[in-house]
């Protein structure tokens, strides 16, 4: 199969944890936020809310509050020129009924929106890293996120540091994660894909 520009982007993207000392233009940030906002969501509920943390003092405050102690392995995110806090407004119509309450659709919605954002960032030459390991309560306080809104993830972003260098990404073989028709029955196309990659 030929590879489209989108496929090439997905192949090229990797988590970037070291950033160049270079500002990210506002029009680039606006563009990737627009792409995030184009994501599908359950009942078109659009639960995502974004806090773009650019100001150095605000980033430091967020990092000190939410990326310290047991969360210090993600402290590198504080050095990114931009941190986007991906938040979710809770309690919309999708969460109203008991039957759907436990399905946490907002998590899926925000995941899709976040990946739209990440892929557009990649297209613009920006490196990103999803951060799930942070102190949510402290992040809420630092960012003054109101009651009823959850901080789902942070996305650190900046132009990749030249020395950060690409590193191989480990992925399981496709055939080990895909079944045909019923769980566990092998899917020959996935095996062929694995063979092609050897
Ligand atoms: C929801 C989510 C949360 C993540 N949280 C962290 C994190 O807290 N710290 C970190 O260094 N990387 C984090 N990552 C990045 C993953 O470690 C990374 O995507 C994975 O190792 C695959 O590497 P790649 O992104 O370079 O392909 C997270 C990724 C996702 C999708």
Q: Of 47, 29, 58, whose CA–CA distance to 141 is shortest?
A: 58
Res 100 pLDDT > 70? no
| 49 bridge partner residues | 87
99 Cα–ligand 1 center, Å: 31
> What does the pLDDT read at residue 97?
56
Res 88 pLDDT > 80? yes
pLDDT in tens, 104-128: 799 999 999 999 999 999 999 999 9
188 Cα–ligand 1 center, Å: 30
Ligand 1 atom closest to the CA of 111, numbered from 1: 1
| Position 163 confidence tier, pLDDT thresholds 50, 70, 90 | confident
Nearest CA to ligand 1 atom 20: 15
| Position 196 confidence tier, pLDDT thresholds 50, 70, 90 | confident
Ligand 1 site, residue 72, Cβ cutoff 6 A: no
> What does the pLDDT read at residue 4?
96
15 Cα–ligand 1 center, Å: 6
Ligand 1 site, residue 98, Cβ cutoff 6 A: no
* Cα dihedral 151, 110, 39, 99 sign: negative
Domains and CATH numbers, the chain: 5-167 (3.40.109.10), 170-198 (no CATH)
Q: Are 164 and 180 in contact (CB under 8 A)?
A: no
| Position 165 confidence tier, pLDDT thresholds 50, 70, 90 | low
Res 33 pLDDT > 90? yes
> What does the pLDDT read at residue 1?
81
DSSP 61-116: HHHHHHSSGGGGGGGGGGGSSEEEEEEEE-SSHHHHSHHHHTT-HHHHHHHHHHHH
> What does the pLDDT read at residue 104?
79
> What does the pLDDT read at residue 166?
56
Report the C-alpha gap between 111 and 39 in whole angstroms: 9
> What does the pLDDT read at residue 119?
98
Element (H, E) at 123: helix 105-123
> What does the pLDDT read at residue 102?
61
Q: Of 76, 171, 93, 81, whose CA–CA distance to 121 is shortest?
A: 81
Mean pLDDT, to the nearest integer, of 160-178?
Answer: 83
Q: Are 49 and 88 in contact (CB under 8 A)?
A: yes
């Amino acid at each position: 199969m030929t590879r489209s520009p989108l496929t090439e982007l997905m192949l090229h993207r990797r988590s970037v944890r070291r950033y160049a000392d270079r500002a990210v233009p506002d029009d680039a940030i606006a563009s990737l936020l627009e792409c995030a906002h184009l994501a599908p969501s359950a009942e078109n509920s659009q639960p995502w809310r974004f806090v773009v943390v650019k100001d150095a003092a605000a980033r430091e405050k967020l990092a000190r509050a939410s990326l310290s102690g047991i969360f210090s392995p993600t402290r590198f995110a504080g050095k990114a020129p931009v941190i986007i806090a991906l938040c979710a407004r809770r309690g919309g119509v999708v969460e109203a009924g008991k039957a759907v309450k436990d399905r946490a659709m907002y998590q899926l919605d925000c995941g899709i929106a976040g990946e739209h954002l990440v892929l557009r960032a990649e297209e613009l030459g920006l490196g990103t890293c999803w951060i799930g390991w942070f102190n949510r309560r402290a992040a809420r306080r630092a960012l003054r996120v109101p009651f009823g809104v959850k901080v789902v993830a942070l996305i650190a972003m900046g132009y990749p540091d030249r020395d950060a260098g690409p590193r191989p990404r480990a992925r399981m073989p496709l055939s080990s994660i895909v079944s045909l028709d019923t769980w566990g029955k092998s899917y020959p196309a996935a095996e062929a894909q694995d063979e092609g990659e050897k």
